[in-house]
Structures are given as structure tokens and as C-alpha cells.
Structure 1
Amino acid sequence: MNPNLLRPFGVISPLMALCIASAAWAQTVESARIHAVRPDEISWVELRKTPALFRAVIHGAQEKAGPFTFRVRAAAGHRLLPHTHPDDRTITVLAGTYWSAVGDTWDDSQLVAYPQGSFYVVPAGVPHYSAVLEGETIFQESGIGPSRNDMVVKP
């Protein structure tokens, strides 16, 4: 057989493979959905009046499998006693200053200030606590569910 007769197939086969791959990629891109929340779409739910505490679910749900993100808006005086989570948590301070410390017993002297723009990670299972000492603070917290807050109780 003349090898020149097969030459067109050597060009056509890779082109066909490229077309098929491009079509598959296009379907993946078209079926993907971007989850976006604009500031005016955030729905705050009041959890407590004094000191004021609000929460807004941004993405997913802490109780369900998969990634989740929520925001907390808290007034001065808010304290979250020592607790742990079964997953790593990432915290970004969006407004104000958030105070946090590692440990299973509350100790004001251990609190570290995280001003607006700060980011930190609390590893899974690490006892920690937090507070808002002045003004209003908004922070965003993310993790992988299913998750929960396990309060540390000392006798």
C-alpha cells in the first residue's frame, strides 16, 4: 500500500480528536454554574438581640456534605466560648476587629486582634474562642461539611 494514501488520515485523526475534546469541554463549561452573592442579596438572620448577632449563609450549608461559607455580624460584647470543629475553618475579617485565641479555657490575655483584612485558619479539632470587644465586626467563615460547633465544657 502506498504510504502517501494514509497521510490524510494522520492529519484528520488528530483534528477529529481535538473537535471531540473541544465539544466535551464546551459542555462542561456550559453546565457549570458560578455561585455569586452580591452585597444587596445577603440575607441576615438575627440569632441574638443583646449583644446583637446576625448570620448570613453565603454558600452551602454547614450541616451538609461539601464546602460552606457564612458571614457573621456581631456587636461589641459578643463572646463565643471555647469550642472545636471537625473541619479546618478559614476566617476573613471583613469589617472591624475580631479577637480570637487558642485554648480550652477562656483567657482574655491570650486574645489576638485580627483587624479588617485579616485571614487565619483554625485547624480541625483545635479548641479556640473569640470575641468582639468594640464596635461592630463582620467576618466570613468557611469550612467543609458536615460540620458543627462542639463546645468545650470544663467542670
Structure 2
Amino acid sequence: MKSSIFRMLMLSILVAAPLHAVPTATQPAAGEAGVAFLPEELVWVANPKLHGLETTVLAGDPALPESYAQRIKLAPGTRLEPHFHPNQARMVTVLKGTLYFAFGERFDNATLRAMPPGSFFTEPVRVPHYAVAGSEEVVLELHAIGPDGTTYVGNEVH
């Protein structure tokens, strides 16, 4: 009985899964049950507008109005100027290194808070924040609902 209910639940999840998402190296094709990969299998993409930042999509598509998971890698000392995002439910966990993070419209070293591995923070919709990577590489894991985007407080959109 429990097995039958579980199968029906899993089948309904698979049928309801979005079929329009474009498969990537780390995302399953439509109809596949899920993803499983090792850290060395991740495909990192350099951000052409921000030197020192790389991303990899773990699941979903940040360009679509759906949930997604992404990792963000910052080279040592990478500085993220005050900016905000249009999308909701942005939740971030520090996986590696120390990120110095704060909310505000002006970069102020005095307000930065050290966020070592295991730290968690949210980025509310359109709330400006800024950060700088410490002396070692920083890796973050972001879970959010798209579509994603970045607007710098100086109105520069990335």
C-alpha cells in the first residue's frame, strides 16, 4: 500500500515537472528523475561583466519564473558593489571561504559581517546589499525563484 502511494506520488511529480527547461550539463532532461553529480563534475561559467565571479546552475533555470539552485564562486578579494535583485526567495549558504556581507546602498567596510562556511542569509526583493570575498576563494549556494537579474545601485543592470 505504502509503495503504491509512493509510486503514484513520484509519477505525479514527474508528470507535473516543467518540460520547457533546457537541459544543461548539471540539469536533467525532461522526464528524468533527478540529478546527482560530484563537485568536480560542475561546469563553471565566468561572468563576463564581473571579473572574479563564476556560476554554475545545479537545477532549474534562473531566466525562467521557477525555482532554481545555483553555486557562485568568488575569487579572493572579489568585491560586489551595492546591488539588488528583482527575484524573490533568494536564500544563500556559504559553503567555502569567508564572505564579508552587509545590506545598504553604499559600500561601508565598517558594516561588513564575516560569514564563514555554514553561514546563511537571505536577499529580500530589491533590497540593496554588497559583499567582498576574504583572502581565500568563496563558494556560495543560492536557492531562489526566477527570473534572476542584478541592478547596481548606480542603475547599471547585469
TM-score (normalizing by structure 1): 0.75
Matched, 1:38 2:38: yes
**RMSD after superposition:** 2.5
Aligned 8 A contact 1:51 1:77 in 2: no
Match of 1:27 in 2: 8
Q: 1:134-145 maps to which residues of 2 (within 5 A)? A: 134-145=135-146
Does the alignment pair 1:107 with 2:108? Answer: yes
TM-score (norm 2): 0.74
For the 8 Å contact 1:51–1:76, the answer to whether it is kept is no
Amino acid at match of 1:54: E
The structural deviation recorded for 1:51 is 5.6
| Structure-2 change in CA distance of 1:78 and 1:29 (3 Å) | same
- Identity, % of aligned pairs? 33
CA contact (8 A) 1:51 1:74 kept: no
- Shifted more, 143-152 versus 26-35: the winner is 26-35
Q: Deviations over 1:36-87 (max 9, x none)?
A: 3332321111226x96332111111211111111111111221111111122
Between 1:22-31 and 1:84-93, the stretch displaced more is 22-31
Indicate the structure with greater helix content.
1
Rounded to whole Å, the distance in 2 between the matches of 1:112 and 1:79 is: 14
Q: 1:25, 1:116 → 2: CA distance?
A: 36
5+ residue gaps in structure 2?
A: 15-32
- Please identify the structure whose Cα radius of gyration is greater: 1
Contact residue 65 and residue 146 of structure 2 kept, 8 A: yes
Aligned with 1:100: secondary structure? strand
Shift in alpha-carbon separation, 1:130–1:34, aligned structure 2, 3 A: same
Verify: 1:125 aligned to 2:139, yes or no.
Answer: no
Extract unaligned runs of 5+ from structure 1: 1-18
User: Does the C-alpha gap of structure 1 residues 22 and 39 become closer, same or farther in structure 2, counting only changes over 3 Å?
Assistant: closer
- Larger relative strand fraction: 1
